[in-house]
Amino acid sequence: MANEQQLDPCLCNGKSVSRMFNPKQLRIYILHLLTEGINYGYDLIKKISEETAGFYCPSPGVIYPTLTLLEELGFITAGTGKENDKGRKCFVITPEGRCFLLLKAELLAEVQLKLNYAQELKAGNQFANEIECAVDKFKSLLRHKIVLQQLSKDESAKVVEIINQAVERIEEVNAVLVTEGKSNG
């Protein structure tokens, strides 16, 4: 066990989506990744996890049978990799696979939409976490001041005024974003 390869942690943190791609989409996506030079099963798993912002981390039990099917269809070939890869299977897209990928551009576009959406969700979630942290910090500070009775009546009124102004400003920003979203959609 001590000399087993140490695997990088999956980005999904246990939040994997069981069916982000249907089987056809996954096959097309794998062919696309092979055109980008990602040639090993484990590297495909890592790349898919990265590009889906960690929302989907396919298991080897999904990737390797899909690679076997693609190989049986003649869309990829498998060989051994470089000397330092210790005999790992290296997958390469064939001309037939490239042709098939071109014919299935619509499926690849569906995959791309899902990838873009996952990245948008990740960006939104990062902001949400930062906002939650800021709100928690703010609430803790106020509780501390209130419990220790460190705010005078005037200071309390000023804090209420600041909070109400912040709420109004956030609503203004949200209204602008909603308006922009409608004009872009």
141 alpha-carbon distance from chain centroid: 34
8-39 pLDDT, tens per residue?
444 444 444 456 889 999 999 999 999 998 88
Give the best-scoring range by mean pLDDT among 87-96, 97-106, 138-147: 97-106
Average pLDDT over residues 64-70: 96
Average pLDDT over residues 111-132: 76
Distances (CA, A) of 20 to 16, 35, 40, 49, 81: 9, 21, 21, 11, 29
Residue 119 burial (C-beta neighbours within 10 Å; 0-12, 13-18, 19+): middle
Q: Residue 113 pLDDT more than 80?
A: yes
**pTM exceeds 0.85:** no
Dihedral pair phi/psi, residue 55, rounded to 5°: -75, -20
Give 60-65's long-range contacts (Cβ < 8 A, gap of 24+): 62/26, 63/30
DSSP-derived secondary structure letter, 75 = S
Higher pLDDT, 11 or 172: 172
71-96 pLDDT, tens per residue?
999 999 998 766 555 678 899 999 99
Higher pLDDT, 19 or 114: 114
Strand partners, 91: 78
Higher pLDDT, 140 or 180: 140
